[in-house]
């Protein structure tokens, strides 16, 4: 599915008609809820760690320019190169150029959301390179020509059977009667197919969870080990990441690692936490000959200088997506954006423009479950509300809503009139209800009564009755 944010309302309708998707989402949310509760119960200082993580990220953003410059100096000292890119086009061009200069044919990719953000696969395929995703979920998505629907569990919208079916179509050299019933059989088959890619690849591309200024290291936090192979086997390693990932010290990264896996997958720590520092040295047994870091801005500097800068604290754990009841009702693809869920609804208007993405900040009940789990305490509802304010000022919402708000605001300035109007409205509803407690249908209220009966007011107003009964 290649949906876009402007069609969010239609995407919602389609998602609600997809029973496989809804089943997958229900399982995700139920399991994640239990898993998170368990892993946090074992770490009493988790809330204090969240505070520490927030302060580390705030400090890193406050010193971002200095951290990035120091990071670059150390990367160069370690024999690598840093490429600064303003936007997706520049970043795509930089990676393409590096691949060309490396004389590459095959490119093995570790999981990277920034590479999705800059549509890197399309750029590389267009330039004639053979690009293969090596994360299991991303690999299946590439075979199906789909995009990730979750930051850390990209193929969460698919069932095991859909994985198996995709492999049967793609791996047509394998025996047709092989069993793909067990998850293990599916991962073994992927492993077999990808082993060859790793050995053949001339370039490995990974993302980054953190960049460390004091050492020039790039940290990836993974579970499958494919990222490690992608960054150590090919001759050239390219890191593609956002500028906001830079931290000062290794110590800071280690604290963030403690909240990251717990928030992302309910693990105490992921299977692999790997530090890549520069190109292979003379006496190293293995490693890439060339090491490049492509730093992508793509709207981040603008966010940094504005009122929504707190979104840049994000460490991409996906917890806000996993917990969000709206995400749970429609899945990631409905958002029509690289980043779905609460974090995406804050980021996407910054990346693609508010006019295109105007539906996303509206797609929240402001329940606050996202902020309650965010490991770096990003006030996501507050940031969504800021986008709603921008949309209101830019007149991007429906005119009817605008007039409704105007009438409401005017009326509430006159409490007597407000109450009188409310009481008249209540009387009308009571007349229509003819003694029933609820209305099943009401003209102009179909958005409510389409799926819910409308409870009828008791009659009168509380304030009016109170003063009548209690005297003056």
Alpha carbons 29 and 228: distance in angstroms, whole number:
29
Nearer to another protein, 192 or 415 (CB): 415
Q: Which stretch binds another protein (CB under 8 A): 37-45, 111-119, 299-307, 320-328?
A: 320-328
102 close to 81: Cβ distance less than 8 angstroms: no
- Under the binding rule (CB under 8 A), the answer on residue 426 touching another protein is yes
Alpha carbons 232 and 357: distance in angstroms, whole number:
38
Q: Which stretch binds another protein (CB under 8 A): 37-45, 225-233, 345-353, 416-424?
A: 416-424
Number of residues in the chain: 472
Angle between helices 136-144 and 183-200 (to 10 degrees): 80
Q: Which stretch binds another protein (CB under 8 A): 246-254, 292-300, 308-316, 391-399?
A: 391-399
Q: Select the residue interacting with another protein from 268, 412, 427, 431 (CB under 8 A).
A: 412
Whole-number minimum distance, CB 266 to another protein, in Å? 16
Q: Which stretch binds another protein (CB under 8 A): 106-114, 228-236, 253-261, 401-409?
A: 401-409
Handedness of CA 218, 219, 224, 228 (dihedral sign): positive
Q: Select the residue interacting with another protein from 43, 329, 432, 442 (CB under 8 A).
A: 329
Q: Which pair of tokens denotes residue 316?
A: 């991409």
Whole-number minimum distance, CB 446 to another protein, in Å? 9
Q: Give me the helices (H) in 63-159, please.
A: 64-77, 88-101, 113-117, 120-126, 136-144
- Under the binding rule (CB under 8 A), the answer on residue 18 touching another protein is no
Whole-number minimum distance, CB 352 to another protein, in Å? 19
298 close to 118: Cβ distance less than 8 angstroms: yes
Q: What H or E segment, with its residue span, contains residue 439?
A: strand 438-439
Q: 169 burial class (0-12, 13-18, 19+ CB within 10 angstroms)?
A: exposed
Handedness of CA 437, 16, 362, 112 (dihedral sign): positive
Alpha carbons 325 and 25: distance in angstroms, whole number:
10
Site string for another protein, 232-261 (x = CB under 8 A): ------------------------------
Nearer to another protein, 225 or 457 (CB): 457
Edge-to-edge strands of the sheet including 130-133?
81-85, 290-296, 236-242, 203-206, 106-109, 130-133
- Under the binding rule (CB under 8 A), the answer on residue 59 touching another protein is no
- Under the binding rule (CB under 8 A), the answer on residue 126 touching another protein is no
> CA 273 → CA 254, 313, 336, 365, distances in Å?
10, 20, 31, 36
246 close to 71: Cβ distance less than 8 angstroms: yes
Q: Which stretch binds another protein (CB under 8 A): 11-19, 39-47, 75-83, 307-315?
A: 11-19
- Under the binding rule (CB under 8 A), the answer on residue 403 touching another protein is no
Strands (E), 160-301: 203-206, 210-212, 217-222, 236-242, 246-247, 272-276, 290-296
Whole-number minimum distance, CB 3 to another protein, in Å? 15
- Under the binding rule (CB under 8 A), the answer on residue 35 touching another protein is no
Residues 141-200 that bind another protein (CB under 8 A): none
Whole-number minimum distance, CB 452 to another protein, in Å? 3
Q: Which stretch binds another protein (CB under 8 A): 114-122, 233-241, 342-350, 383-391?
A: 383-391
- Under the binding rule (CB under 8 A), the answer on residue 304 touching another protein is no
> CA 247 → CA 11, 163, 229, 236, 437, distances in Å?
37, 37, 24, 24, 59
- Under the binding rule (CB under 8 A), the answer on residue 309 touching another protein is no
Residues 343-382 that bind another protein (CB under 8 A): 362-369, 371-372
Q: Select the residue interacting with another protein from 19, 175, 305, 451 (CB under 8 A).
A: 451
Whole-number minimum distance, CB 385 to another protein, in Å? 7
Nearer to another protein, 443 or 451 (CB): 451
Alpha carbons 447 and 460: distance in angstroms, whole number:
25
Task: Return residues touching another protein (CB under 8 A).
Answer: 9, 12-13, 16, 33, 325-326, 328-330, 362-369, 371-372, 385, 387-393, 397, 401, 405-406, 408-409, 411-416, 418-419, 422-423, 425-426, 438, 440, 447-448, 450-455, 457-463, 465-467, 469-470
């Amino acid at each position: 599915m290649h949906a876009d944010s402007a069609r969010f309302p239609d995407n919602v309708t389609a998602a609600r008609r997809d029973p496989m998707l809804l089943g997958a989402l229900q399982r995700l949310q139920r399991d994640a809820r239990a898993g998170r509760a368990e892993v946090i119960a074992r770490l009493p200082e988790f809330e204090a760690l969240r505070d520490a993580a927030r302060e580390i990220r705030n400090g890193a953003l406050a010193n971002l320019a200095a951290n990035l410059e120091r990071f670059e100096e150390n990367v160069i000292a370690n024999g690598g190169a840093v490429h600064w890119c303003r936007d997706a086009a520049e970043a795509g061009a930089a990676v393409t150029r590096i691949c060309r200069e490396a004389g590459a044919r095959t490119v093995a990719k570790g999981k990277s959301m920034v590479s999705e953000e800059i549509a890197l696969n399309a750029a590389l395929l267009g330039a004639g390179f053979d690009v293969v995703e090596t994360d299991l979920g991303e690999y299946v998505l590439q075979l199906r020509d789909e995009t990730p629907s979750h930051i850390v569990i990209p193929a969460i919208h698919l069932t095991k059977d859909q994985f198996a079916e995709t492999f049967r179509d793609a791996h047509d050299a394998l025996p047709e009667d092989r069993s793909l019933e067990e998850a293990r059989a599916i991962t073994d088959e992927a492993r077999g197919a990808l082993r060859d890619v790793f050995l053949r690849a001339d370039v490995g591309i990974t993302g980054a969870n953190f960049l460390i200024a004091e050492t020039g290291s790039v940290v990836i936090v993974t579970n499958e080990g494919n990222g490690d192979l992608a960054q150590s086997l090919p001759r050239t390693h390219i890191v593609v990441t956002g500028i906001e990932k830079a931290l000062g010290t290794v110590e800071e990264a280690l604290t963030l690692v403690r909240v990251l896996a717990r928030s992302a997958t309910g693990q105490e720590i992921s299977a692999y936490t790997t530090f890549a520092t520069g190109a292979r040295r003379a006496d190293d047994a293995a490693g890439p000959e060339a090491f490049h870091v492509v730093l992508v801005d793509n709207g981040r500097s603008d966010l940094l200088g504005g009122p929504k800068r707190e979104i840049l604290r994000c460490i991409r754990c996906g917890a806000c997506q996993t917990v969000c009841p709206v995400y749970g009702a429609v899945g990631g693809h409905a958002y029509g954006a690289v980043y779905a869920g609460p974090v995406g609804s804050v980021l996407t208007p910054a990346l693609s423009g508010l006019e295109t993405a105007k539906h996303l900040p509206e797609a929240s009940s402001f329940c606050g479950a996202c902020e309650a789990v965010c490991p770096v305490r990003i006030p996501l509802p507050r940031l969504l509300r800021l986008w709603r304010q921008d949309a209101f000022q830019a007149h991007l919402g429906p005119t009817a809503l605008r007039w409704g708000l105007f009438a409401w605001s005017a009326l509430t300035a006159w409490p007597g009139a407000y109450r009188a109007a409310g009481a008249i409205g209540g009387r009308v509803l009571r007349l229509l209800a003819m003694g029933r407690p609820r209305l099943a249908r009401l003209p102009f209220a179909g958005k409510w009564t389409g799926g819910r009966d409308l409870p009828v007011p008791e009659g009168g107003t509380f304030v009016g009755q109170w003063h009548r009964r209690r005297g003056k």
